[in-house]
Amino acid sequence: MVLLDFSIFPLDKGESLGKYVAQCVDVIDRSGITYRTHSMGTTLEGDFDDALAVVKQCFDALAVDCRRIECAIKIDYRKGRAGRLDAKVASIERELSRAVNK
């Protein structure tokens, strides 16, 4: 299983990109993959190929209207471990003995 954190957005559409980000979040949500969207991107949790396929679907959706797209990806692989989207935060909360702002 991987955690794949990525951000993807057009570079040729001005400052307000919410329309394009929403388009990608829709693709992600419809994919069925486990994910968390945050202020600077989205983290996917799943099989390596499935996660990359979702990123490709987002790219393809943007490429219809956009001439230039930037995508940054970070991947954390851990064999045999699932549920890490929540487990990683829970581990920090245990260390701090309190809840953190999610």
The per-residue pLDDT for 73 is: 98
- Cα(73)–Cα(2) distance, integer angstroms: 12
In a domain, 102, yes or no: no
Report the pLDDT value the prediction gives residue 6, as an integer from 0 to 100: 98
Whether 24 is in a domain gets the answer: yes
CATH number, residue 23: 3.30.70.930
pLDDT at position 75, please?
A: 98
Domain count of the fold of the chain: 1
Rounded to two decimals, what is the model's pTM? 0.90
Structure tokens at 14: 């001005």
How much is the pLDDT for 78? 92
Q: What is the pLDDT along the chain (102 residues), one digit of tens a residue?
A: 999 999 999 999 999 999 999 999 999 999 999 999 999 999 999 999 999 999 999 999 999 999 999 999 999 999 988 899 888 889 999 999 999 976
In a domain, residue 101? The reply is no
Q: What pLDDT does 102 receive?
A: 62
Give the whole-angstrom CA distance, residue 77 versus residue 3.
Answer: 6
Quick one: which of 55, 47, 49 has its CA closest to 81?
47
What is the per-residue pLDDT for 52? 98
Per-residue tokens: 4: 């794949």
Residue 34 belongs to a domain: yes
Q: Is residue 10 part of a domain?
A: yes
Task: Tell me if 62 is assigned to some domain.
Answer: yes
Beta bridge partners of 36: 43
| Residue range(s) defining the domain that contains residue 80 | 2-96
